[in-house]
Amino acid sequence: FENAIDPAHAVVSHHTLVGSRYDDPAGFQCVVERPMTGAGGFRCALDPAVPPFNTIGKYDAETSYDFQPPALLKIDWRHEGGRFLTSHYCVPTRPGWCRHYVATVAQRNPEAGNAIRLHRWFKLNLFTLTSPGWLTHVLGPTFLHQDMVLLHQQEKIIAQGRGQDIAQQWKDQVFTPSTADKMTLFFYKWFEKNGPIEWAPGMDQMPPIERDASKLFDTYEMHTKYCTHCQGALRNTEIATAVTAAVAGVKFFWVGASVVFTAALLGSGGEAGSLDVFDLARAVEPSAYGDLFSAVSLAITAVFLNGFAGMFKTYPFSHSEDDIIMEGTAKIGLSNDGPSAYIDVVDSLVFRGQDAPGFKAANPHNRGCECSGCDIKNFDGIKSVVLKAKQEKANAAKRAVVKEDVVPTAR
């Protein structure tokens, strides 16, 4: 939970997936929107909202973190073109373990144009929101495992065997001079006053550090074993792998048989040892080359499917190695700010028709939600000084244009 509530860690720990640890880190202030209380938690806005929520120097979106006790964190990202509310529910199950639930709600305002499509936060969340459940689940470890080892070991090191006193232990061992750590400090103050967690008798001890990577990154035992979506996807992937490999094997056998048969025909009409490989290549039926291409393609597909099936079982990660999944998100334009043809298509399909005349009248807003118009207690305007100054400058420029248009001219 401490990790999720720290905005500064995202582009560093999740390098290549949501940003760059070399280019994106930037300073920011935490502006308190709702002061901390035991029952109400707290809410803070980032000033400015740094990557991955904005591009450095281009601040046109705002982000707030809303902690609602005992285990709910809402990341509220707002742009004139839409809004994403991502809820993280972290349920502690035993010392050193928690069950993590994530839900995302999207609001889109097509009237504001498509500038929102350039934001990596919009692109990543829209991809997650529109993907099948099993795909979201199997790709989840590509994000969570990036900092799992760090979190797993730091928790044990700080606790020093006294898991129930971790709030006090943390305060004594960690130096936090930056205002960017304000929410982390708030959370530990809340936990110190309202904790510890009442574990079952005999279950209150923090487990030792797990150094076996096969157990630490075991996605099957931690998720797939209990998830019907992923069990079905794993079964189908394994069937597809077996079928694809079998067809590839049959085609390889057929190509080999064709070559042997052709060689036998050529050899029967000439002297032994006079068979030329180029003559053989010319004599082989042209269809054999098509079969060979199909066999190679199917074999490559089977290898890919086998690797994908393995992600349902284990997904080891090391920051010292290149990761094909991380690089893949960058290639289709999800992990950086800028245009993405994929997102253009998905956004158009998901939110099509919302900018049509009469749409709002035919689909009236159901009051009582968490939008900025309904949730007055949590959102009473822009908190980011940087964003407010930018919007005021833009509005002043618009007023100047309007003023020029209405200035009377001499006849």
Please write the tens of the pLDDT for every residue from 217-238.
999 999 999 999 999 999 999 9
Q: Where are the alpha helices (DSSP H) in 336-384?
A: 341-350, 359-362
Would you state the structure tokens that stand for residue 63, as one six-digit string?
């982000």
Strand order in the sheet with 61-68: 29-37, 41-47, 61-68, 72-79, 82-94, 97-108
Of the listed ranges 41-55, 73-87, 295-309, 372-386, the one predicted with least confidence: 372-386
Give the pLDDT band of residue 161 (cuts 50, 70, 90): low
Q: What is the pLDDT of residues 87-130, one digit of tens each?
A: 999 888 888 888 889 988 888 888 888 889 989 899 889 988 89
pLDDT tier, 328 (very low <50, low <70, confident <90, very high otherwise): low
Bridge partners (DSSP) listed for residue 84: 77, 106
* Cα–Cα distance measured from residue 2 to residue 204, given in angstroms and rounded to the nearest whole number: 20
Q: What percent of the chain has pLDDT over 90?
A: 23
From CA 18, how far away is CA 51, in angstroms rounded? Answer: 8
Is 81 in contact with 325 (CB distance < 8 Å)?
A: no
pLDDT score for 383: 62
Residue 263 C-beta-side C-alpha neighbours within 13 Å: 14
341-351: b (≥16 Cβ within 10 Å) or e: eebeebbeeeb
pLDDT at 238: 97
Contact 32, 4 (CB under 8 A): no
Burial per residue of 28-57, b for 16 or more beta-carbon CB atoms within 10 angstroms, e otherwise: bbbbebbebeeeebbbbbbbbbbbbbbbee
Where would I find the beta strands (DSSP E) of 205-278? Answer: none
User: What is the four-CA torsion angle of 174, 65, 343, 320, rounded to 10 degrees?
Assistant: 10
Yes or no: say if 116 and 81 are a contact pair by the CB < 8 Å rule.
yes
Write down the residue that tokens 């994929």 correspond to.
342
Give me the long-range contacts of 217-224 (CB less than 8 A, separation at least 24). Answer: 217/141, 217/145, 217/148, 217/314, 217/315, 217/316, 217/317, 218/313, 218/314, 219/138, 219/141, 219/311, 219/312, 219/313, 219/314, 219/315, 220/312, 220/313, 220/314, 223/137, 223/140, 224/137, 224/312, 224/313
Q: What is the mean pLDDT of residues 322-329?
A: 54
